[in-house]
Amino acid sequence: KPDEVAQAQNGLILLQQQKAELEEQMVTLRENQTVLEQKAAELSADVSTKMQESEEGTAEEAKKRADRLTQLTTLYSAMRPGDAAAIMDQMSDEMVLEILPTLPDRNAARILNGLGDDERKARLSAALLSGQTQAN
């Protein structure tokens, strides 16, 4: 029986060592989990900050673009329709569809009529009629 007692004691010591190792591993895992949670929180905060900055930048860019469109509207309203049409002949449909609706109807009609390409006039008219403010 002394051999059995010695074996049992050795087994108990081995189990206690394994338990201690497992507890150390659990402590390490908890520490790692805490670090990962902190990193995730930091990354989440960074993403939120970047998204907010992006939205603010986008809103600021939209305001600047709207201001420039207002300036263009004033500029084209002051021009003779034929001169404005000659310039718009060189622009993309998208730009023309963005500018024309901002002009007084009479000016917009004269400029549209002054465009050189009849097919383009029809295409732009159809887009304006359907409420498009940008070309597809």
Q: What is the pLDDT along the chain (136 residues), one digit of tens a residue?
A: 788 888 999 999 999 999 999 999 999 999 999 999 999 888 888 888 888 888 777 888 889 989 999 999 999 999 999 999 999 999 999 999 999 999 999 999 999 999 999 999 999 999 999 886 654 4
Q: Is 49 helix (H, G, I), strand (E, B) or coil?
A: helix
CA distance 18 to 13: 9
Q: Quick count: other Cβ atoms within 10 Å of Cβ 85? A: 20
Q: Residue 110 burial by CB count (10 A; 0-12/13-18/19+): exposed, middle or buried?
A: middle
Average pLDDT over all residues of the chain: 90
Helix (H) / strand (E) containing 94: helix 93-99
For the residues of 115-136, what is the DSSP string, one character each?
Answer: -S-HHHHHHHHHHHHTT-SS--
Q: What pTM was estimated for this model as a whole?
A: 0.55
CA distance 60 to 54: 10
